[in-house]
Amino acid sequence: MTTVAVAPLRRWIRRAQVAHLERGERFGTFYFVILFVLVVGSMFWNRLHALVWPADPDTSALAGAALITVVAGGLYLALGRLGPLAISRPAASWLLTAPISRRRLLWPSFATTTAFAALTSAVATLALLGRAGPRPVPVTLVLTGALVGVGVLLVTVAAQSGGRWAVLLDAVVSLLLAAGLAGLVVDAAVGAPRLSGWPPAATLVTATGAFALVAGLFFVLAVRGLTRTPDDRILDASRTAGTLADSAFGVEPSWVADMVERRYWTHRKLRSAALNSRLPVLAAQDLRLALRRPRRLLWLLLASALPALLTHAPVWLLGPAVLVGTLLAAGTTAGNTRTDAANPVLLRMLALNSRRAITQRLLIPAVLAAAWGALALTWLELLVALPPGPWWALGLALGPVGAIAAVRRARVGFVNNALLPIDTPMGSISTGPALASVIGYDALLLGLPAIVLIATGTPLTWLGVATQLAFGLLGGRAYLAGTTDPERVELAKPT
Amino acid sequence: MIGAASVPEVTDHPAVQVDDLVVGYGSTPVLSGVRLLVPSGAGVCVTGENGIGKSTLLRCVAGLQRPDDGEIRVFGGRAGSTPDFWRAVVTTVEPPTWYPGLTAREHAELVCRAHGQDPSAAGIDDALDQFGLAGHRDAIPASLSSGQKQRLTLALALLRPSSLLILDEPEQRLDRDGRALVADLLAEYLKTGGSILMASHDDAFASSSGTEITTMESLS
């Protein structure tokens, strides 16, 4: 079969695309980006410098090792979710089906992601060395960090073409990530020793050189193997990239949430089972959804220890961190409410009024948020040594708050881009996306008693727990009264 | 039993009464002075070419679109978004967005339980079987073909109790056997006291479902 060269084709497409642009438009964009980086960089330079390169390294060897695992694992999972090899949607439609070299088609994507992985890893290594490494820091280690990033990318590229081993590797990396987070929590609790010194420079140079050699070899093999990347994986990745781009340009994060949800369930094999007859029907449905997401529940269980990482942060941050966690836990079943909010066709088929529907939709999220809150505050009590008191009960009392916040967030719907922007000295702020981004989180203010109780550092009393519970329950009642109607089926008020 | 109507309350009012309905999109009038009567326990099928306003009429009767003028009564009351209205009325005018992580059979069970029906007595499995979905009961509805989704939507609509079906081209995307089955079920629905208002391009289907055929032109 004749293979058509892709480079002239791409040049022609680029020329056709830029033909309608005004002269100097691309330079204008370039100028804006450079100016933006310089302005934002100068504003945050001091803080960034203090964060990456403090005067004295203050991070233990254990935390350093845990952070390496978290960064590498996070990079692997993120690159894997994005493809990593992707082409634009038009290219997927027109170039993927054309007789052109697959290797040349994928090369720009491969080169860009390689550079991204190397740069990200190098910056992360620099930050890690700055915080955990004894001074002076060997520069070769930054190069090693970049090579680790390239190595991670090469594994994800292989996994994109791979079979079952890729799924297993995904699970192993998730476990490593969890182990890394556990290491951080343990370090926050016990205060592990710091790194005392580096191996001799010659050893580091030899190791880095050897590593570069191996990475280079696998890089060449990966380039040769680009032709074997299956079309369906490339199409999946291009759809992901397209949805992310649409979401960014349209300032509409719900498109990404929909895509993630749809993709998750597409690959699951389910078996019908009777819904729990003792629960109200929508709560039974939510319970089924929650039980079908065991991995998410496991992550939530592990993540309940994460607020303990804020041991050295200002104490007022602990309460909000726990509250955000309850929202995320309660959000496990948010897909059902999101469906009802976006399209009430099934709600009409069920003929339940909106108040009854939302009351039922709050039940399972409340249980999840209460369990998460109780676990998180128990961990904090054990690891950070909160003052004595029934902290687990305060966590349980946060259940209604997390549930209201999660359901409110799930009902946010599409971003209203018709709202007028607000001009500030920093530039214009789009009101619609700004409002949409805080909806749901604003309901966490109902957890104000808990924030105060944690921040004051005094022993917790049952009166404090009762106050928080009353805030949550009254807030729930007000939320139902204000946003639902027993005489209306649809969740949204008619316009 | 699938295909059987369940009339919550005996009413002397017609199932649907439309008087002098006016609807337009911008400056383009779609419906002008439309009058329609569907007696309780009867079925009417509206036919007409594409773009003549059949779906718009059905959407207005279902309360999903506000007309510019005119009056619509459903069982003597106003079409609207109340739970009572949606307990009496089922419509397939708009396609559903399916719940995540819920199989086709579980969707059917959810609908039955929301209406206080015993899922095992409601005949869910029989209904899925009849609609050719027996092999897809464990499937996520979003992953079904468009024809299978249409069958599932109709199965859900006919499983739950109702007094009025508002259906927009229910024969669409169905094969010949599927059309015959749906027509039989709709005829059964009418026999048990239910009312039907539907739009269709298929006169044979409309006749075999027991509905009276009327053209959009004749309604103005």
Chain B hits for A350, Cβ within 8 Å: 110-111, 114-115
A490 contacts chain B (CB < 8 A): yes
Alpha-helical runs (H) found in A267-353: 281-291, 294-303, 318-330, 334-342, 345-350
Of A335, A343, A487, the CB nearest to B82: A487
List pLDDT tens digits, range A193-231: 888 888 888 999 999 999 999 999 999 999 998 888 888
Mean pLDDT of chain A: 89
CB contact under 8 A, B101 and A288: yes
A321 Cβ neighbours under 8 A, 6+ residues apart? A306, A307, A310
Q: Is the pLDDT of residue B7 over 60?
A: no
CB contact under 8 A, A274 and B109: yes
Q: With cut-offs at 50, 70 and 90, classify the pLDDT of residue A21.
A: low
CB contact under 8 A, B142 and A262: yes
Q: Is the pLDDT of residue A447 over 90?
A: yes
- Say if residues A228 and A161 touch (Cβ distance below 8 Å): yes
CB contact under 8 A, B140 and A288: no
Residue A213 has which token pair? Answer: 């050699």
Within 13 Å and on the Cβ side, how many CA atoms surround A391?
26
Q: Is the pLDDT of residue A477 over 90?
A: yes
Of A281, A343, A487, the CB nearest to B96: A343
B76 contacts chain A (CB < 8 A): no
A487 contacts chain B (CB < 8 A): yes
Residue A222 has which token pair? Answer: 């990966």
Of A273, A349, A486, the CB nearest to B90: A349
| Helix-strand-coil split of chain A, %, nearest 5 | 75, 0, 25
Q: With cut-offs at 50, 70 and 90, classify the pLDDT of residue A68.
A: very high
Average pLDDT over residues A16-29: 71
Residue B10 confidence (pLDDT): 46
B101 Cβ neighbours under 8 A, 6+ residues apart? A265, A268, A270, A288, A289, A292, A293, A335, B140
What is the extent of the structural domain holding B149? 16-219
Q: Is the model more confident about A256 or about A442?
A: A442
Q: Domain boundaries in chain A?
A: 52-249, 278-414+427-483
Chain A hits for B99, Cβ within 8 Å: 285, 289, 335-336, 339, 346
Q: Which residue of B has its CA nearest to A485?
A: B82
Predicted-complex ipTM score? 0.92
**CATH number, domain containing residue B92:** 3.40.50.300
| Mutation for A interface: B97, B125, B140, B150, most A CBs within 10 A | B97
Chain A hits for B156, Cβ within 8 Å: 349
Examine residue B3 and state whether it is found in any structural domain, yes or no. no
Whose tokens are 């009353």? That residue is A470
A71 Cβ neighbours under 8 A, 6+ residues apart? A121, A124, A128
Chain B hits for A353, Cβ within 8 Å: 82-83
Residue A156 has which token pair? Answer: 């994800």
Q: Is the pLDDT of residue A16 over 80?
A: no
Residue A302 confidence (pLDDT): 92
Shortest Cα distance from B14 to chain A (angstroms)? Answer: 22
- Say if residues B185 and B2 touch (Cβ distance below 8 Å): yes
Shortest Cα distance from B68 to chain A (angstroms)? Answer: 15
Whose tokens are 């298929």? That residue is B202
CB contact under 8 A, B109 and A343: no
Shortest Cα distance from A415 to chain B (angstroms)? Answer: 19
List pLDDT tens digits, range A217-274: 999 999 998 888 888 888 888 888 888 888 887 777 778 888 888 888 988 899 999 9
Shortest Cα distance from B126 to chain A (angstroms)? Answer: 15
CB contact under 8 A, A272 and B97: no
A287 contacts chain B (CB < 8 A): no
| Mutation for A interface: B103, B106, B117, most A CBs within 10 A | B106
Q: For residue B119, which amino acid is it?
A: P
Q: Work out the widest C-alpha separation in chain B, in whole angstroms.
A: 52
Counting the structural domains of chain B, the total is 1
Identify which of A240, A384, A235, A406 has the alpha carbon closest to the alpha carbon of residue A318.
A384
CB contact under 8 A, A335 and B106: no
Q: What is the pTM of this model?
A: 0.86
Q: With cut-offs at 50, 70 and 90, classify the pLDDT of residue A436.
A: confident
Average pLDDT over residues A91-109: 85
